[in-house]
Amino acid sequence: MSKKRRMFDIDMPDESPEVTPETFPAEKVSDDRGRRGPMATAIAETAVSARERADIEAQIRAENDALAHEHVRLKKLGLVVELIPIDHVETDKLVRDRIKGPDMELAELKASIAELGLSNPIRVEAREDGRYELIQGYRRLAAFTELLAETGDADRYSQIPAAVSVEGDAIEDLYRKMVDENLVRKDISFAEMARLALDYAADPQTAENDPDRAVKALFKSASYSKRSYIRSFITVMRKLQGVIAYPAALPRSLGLSLAAALEEDETLLPRIKAKLADWENRSELDELGALREALGAAGSIGDDDPKPRPKAAKQAGVTSKAKTSFQFDSAAGAAKCTASAGRLEIRLDKDFSTVDRRTLEAAVREMLDRIR
């Protein structure tokens, strides 16, 4: 059986098309589609990375420069807080507004620092020799110094937080900074402010040599009446310098009376000197009683003076100079007791306001019943 052939009709073109042969150049050419060899790709990527790194480094340098300028600006303003060694702080540039003498409140400040730390840094001015001049915070610095001596804890008390400003402020501006901070302190006395005005006027670094005008320069933030009181106390401090032992204890009313009387009565100063001469170990109460007696104002106490009247001594049958003081250890800690005419004072590192009133009243009543 024979196989049949299949026939297909195929249309063939009359002429064959011209075929153009493909040619290749001898040299390398770039691919229109962006294809590169491995070496070219690596070089390009390295260049891009270098440009990006340079841009980032320039941005970091600009940010660092801005931070450095801001740090310098804040430091000039005294807003940069650092830990500085307490033995690098000098206190000689400014005359302090604290009258030298016992500071009974320093123990409370030390207890607060020991328990809670320092909440308000001191303020200092940096010197070229690497040391610092104290502008504000004399008591805080004293508290750290005493705590270091008492505890030996160098980790806590050999350095103190300080707002450091650069050197260059005028001496008048430094005094104003110190004064403005201390004006908000409730315990600063008119005598201390008057003493500062006298020392400011006597300081050769300042342009002012008149104490009355120094009051205006130093206490611009104070009211007119307060500046007037300070000027009156300048009279007292001038005339009684070295005569009285407790100028900071002078209440405003007694100080103003003394100032007026010292100006009008030339015999008053000799009378005061005679009363206080050779009277050792006198208390604040003793001295205030003697001043009132010399002034002739016994029993006349202003609203700002909580001290007992001298006549209480007569009622108790003892002289105003009688005084007993002693210290002892109690369950609540070391206590100091001072007893005088009409006054019994107990100092103890304890907040008595936290004791229940009835408990406190019962304890005081029992004590008084036992010593009647």
Quick check: 96 pLDDT over 60? no
The mean predicted confidence, pLDDT, of the chain is 75
Q: Please give the Cα distance from 236 to 349 (Å, whole number).
A: 34
Tokens of 154: 């160098």
- Range 133-159 average pLDDT: 89
Quick check: 233 pLDDT over 90? yes
Q: Please give the Cα distance from 48 to 260 (Å, whole number).
A: 86
Amino acid 215: pLDDT? 87
- Range 98-110 average pLDDT: 66
Sort 8 into a burial class: Cβ within 10 Å, 0-12 / 13-18 / 19+: exposed
Judged by DSSP in three states, 259 sits in helix
Structure confidence at residue 149 as a pLDDT band (50, 70, 90): very high
The answer to whether domain 58-170 has CATH 3.90.1530.10 is yes
Tokens of 98: 């604290």
- 218 close to 234: Cβ distance less than 8 angstroms: no
Residue 264 CB coordination number (10 Å): 8
Task: Name the more confident of 54 and 251.
Answer: 251
Residue in 289, 282, 292 with CA at minimum distance from that of residue 261? 292
Quick check: 85 pLDDT over 90? yes
List, for residues 303-344, the tens digit of each pLDDT value. 455 444 444 444 444 444 566 777 777 777 777 787 777 788
Q: Which residues pair with 346 in a beta bridge?
A: 337
- Range 131-155 average pLDDT: 88
Q: Please give the Cα distance from 200 to 78 (Å, whole number).
A: 23
Residues 6 or more apart whose CB falls under 8 angstroms from that of 314 comprise none
Q: Which of the residue ranges 218-222, 245-249, 263-267 would you say has the lowest mean pLDDT?
A: 218-222
- Range 94-113 average pLDDT: 67
Structure confidence at residue 27 as a pLDDT band (50, 70, 90): low
Amino acid 86: pLDDT? 92
Structure confidence at residue 350 as a pLDDT band (50, 70, 90): confident
Tokens of 90: 């000098």
Q: Please give the Cα distance from 8 to 356 (Å, whole number).
A: 124
Quick check: 217 pLDDT over 60? yes
- The one-letter code for the residue type at 109 is L
List, for residues 180-199, the tens digit of each pLDDT value. 555 555 557 888 888 888 88
Quick check: 261 pLDDT over 80? yes
Quick check: 252 pLDDT over 70? yes
- Kindly state the percentage of the chain with pLDDT values over 90: 12
**Could you tell me the residue ranges of all domains in the chain?**
58-170, 189-321, 322-372
Task: Name the more confident of 250 and 187.
Answer: 250
Amino acid 310: pLDDT? 43
